[in-house]
Amino acid sequence: MAKPLPICADLIDCNYAVAGHDGTLSDIDGELFIKPCTDTEIAFYNDTIANHQDFYDFMPEFLGTLQLDENQNKAIEEKAAELIAQHSIPEASYPGRTNGKRIVTNQAVVLMNASHGFVKPNILDVKLGVRLWADDAHQEKKKRFDKVTEQTTHKDFGFRIAGMRVWQGPDAKGDDIDEDGYRIYNKDYGRFELNNGNVHEAFKNFIFTEAAGIDKELGQLISQAFLMDLRRIQDVLESQESRMYSASLLFVFEGDGKALRTAMEEASRTPPPTTIEHASSSSGETQSSFEEEEDEDEDDIEEGSFPKIYALKVIDFAHAQWTPGLGPDENALVGKYLPKFDFEARAAAPAAVSHTNIHELQANSEWRFEVAIGSSIDVKVLSGTAEIFGTELALNHTYTFRGTKSSIYTWHGCRLEPVVTRLALAATSRLQDDVKCRETGMIIDTPGVISQGKGGYELISHIVSEFSVNIILVLGSERLHSDMIRRFSAHKTDSGEAITLVRLDKSGGCVDRDDAFMQQMRDAAIKEYFFGDAKRTLSPHTQVVNYDELSIFKVREAHSMHSAFLPGGEEDAEPTQYEKVEPVPMMLHCIFAVMHASTRDSQDTIRDASVMGFVYVAEVDEKKKRLKILAPLNTRVTDRPLIWGSWPEAPVNLMG
């Protein structure tokens, strides 16, 4: 569950803010970020959560609101001033001050602190836009902000460095280094020291700090990660209709090189968490839909267990609103100039070309893949059905994987299109920079392709060409070995080496997975989704809902060849492929998919929506016309359409 909201007496001054207005607060653990706000900002958060989930993914997690105690705020200000005086730190360089005026209000928005969980978080605030004032700003403010635009990088680039906080290493000393080893760049840095000619140096100073252990390799990987998220934010903004004035991008990454490398290695062994998206409300002083029982802390465990590497969030929505019919917000579009700087990543590493391959997976087969740290792979299911660890993949929806090992399994067969981005870059860059790695080489494990026909052989040919493979090992199959000899015996690598082919006997430890084993694995995955495993116990929520409160859809049985609900799926000439159904006893022990849509949306919109998560039907009461639903979170399922899919085997009884 999410962290409960604190009371004002438990709040302390937040000294991690690098820009923005004064008066920001935090809880004692630093997990929450509380800042004074306007009604407009609260309304924007609620509207975004309800109707713009794609954009909310890049916003700080919203927990609710607090009514601030004026006496508490005054005490915090006096304490901060006392600390400043004791240490004789000039106001312009004091790490906790942003030199911004306090917003006159007694209400605050409560957010999850994006920098919490890092060992030494490096933080960068980039103010977006050319025009910085909203329509309701008075004339004096418009003139003042227009002057800021004219004198800074806002004018030509559409952004400005509003502040930075960069760790300089354990031995850092100097007048410009605070007691924690950070160099602070306040708002004057972006206004008076940076210009069009040297602003790229600010990004370089933010990313690359040799004394802190952030070398060329780590810096490039972080740069590439930020760049990919920047482009995703750009895509979302270009597809939405909004107006955001003086909004910012908040960049955070692990500034301790040793901790960063450890987190990356751990991330490569830890699959990313999959959860239902949260929704929240802020109608009262401490209201939040995340309030749950104290012993139900599965969300905290899951989030805390995943290593902290970097985060990119859009923040500051005091002058933001959704504006249907007015088109995208060209003023705030981050992709206009910011990605061109690429955080110095392009200048330091060779370019890589994206490649697309299509794989035909036969029934009861598995496609395994591994993605290096700093690299990504985009996977899309073009037809059929496929799943990852028991979670079904939507058709024609792009899934992005970074720094992980995983596999996609299909019961009925499917067609996959992976778009490999920068995979060759990560490998070849490491080989070029490290003599030992270059001499050692690499091992590339490909999936079984003998049953995939021409496409499987094309995949191997692509790998051999892309990575300059000079030795090919064939496990067990005499036929595959003969085909490889015929294809590659006369070929050479880019460096002129001959390609050697070796056939090895298949180990007796390699066994095929039969249907019973795969069914057992799926049952275990479903139970783990709701109840956890031996290391982590989860406590799902039970709720009883009336039949008439639910919107349930089901694929027509006549279309058994495509018996999965097709969000974003292939077009079908028949509009009646799915239908709305009433609850029936057959739903007992079935799994419903919760869709990223509203019950008021059209069936086409519901079909094209992505899946938020899953709920389980624990009981069907025909007399009282009620269903007992088991859900991983304490959230209302009646607000979302539910999809009743089909299974290749009998439903799992989780309550037995």
Pair 191, 148: CB distance under 8 Å: yes
546: part of which helix (H) or strand (E)? strand 541-546
DSSP letter at 53 equals H
DSSP letter at 558 equals G
3-state secondary structure of 407: strand
> How confident is the model at residue 71, as a pLDDT?
53
State the alpha helices, DSSP H only, in 69-196.
70-87, 139-151, 154-157, 187-188
Tens of pLDDT along 299-331?
A: 443 444 557 899 999 999 989 999 998 888 888
- Asked whether residue 77 carries a pLDDT value surpassing 60, the answer given is no
Most confident of 85-89, 276-280, 619-623: 619-623
Q: Token digits for 450?
A: 């003998």
> How confident is the model at residue 257, as a pLDDT?
93
The b-or-e profile of 433-452 (16+ CB within 10 A means b, else e) is eeeeeeeeeeeeeebbbeeb
CA atoms of 166 and 278, how far apart (whole Å): 32
- Residue 364: band (very low, low, confident or very high) from pLDDT cuts 50, 70, 90: confident
Q: Token digits for 615?
A: 């709920």
Percent of the chain with pLDDT over 90: 19
Higher per-residue pLDDT: 631 or 476: 631
User: How high is the mean pLDDT of the chain?
Assistant: 76
Crossing angle of helices 257-269 and 216-239, in 10° steps, is 60
Going along the chain from its start, the domains and CATH numbers come out as 8-272+285-347 (3.30.470.160), 350-442 (2.60.120.1030), 538-644 (2.40.30.330)
Mean pLDDT of 557-581: 50
CA atoms of 367 and 24, how far apart (whole Å): 48
CA atoms of 454 and 450, how far apart (whole Å): 9
Cα of 498 vs its chain's centroid, Å: 43
CA atoms of 78 and 73, how far apart (whole Å): 9
Tens of pLDDT along 232-262?
A: 888 888 888 999 999 999 999 999 999 998 8
Pair 247, 128: CB distance under 8 Å: yes
Mean pLDDT of 48-71: 84
pTM comes to 0.49
Q: What are the residues whose beta carbons fall under 8 Å from the beta carbon of 475, sequence distance 6 or more?
A: 504, 506, 507, 510
Higher per-residue pLDDT: 37 or 3: 37
- Asked whether residue 347 carries a pLDDT value surpassing 90, the answer given is no
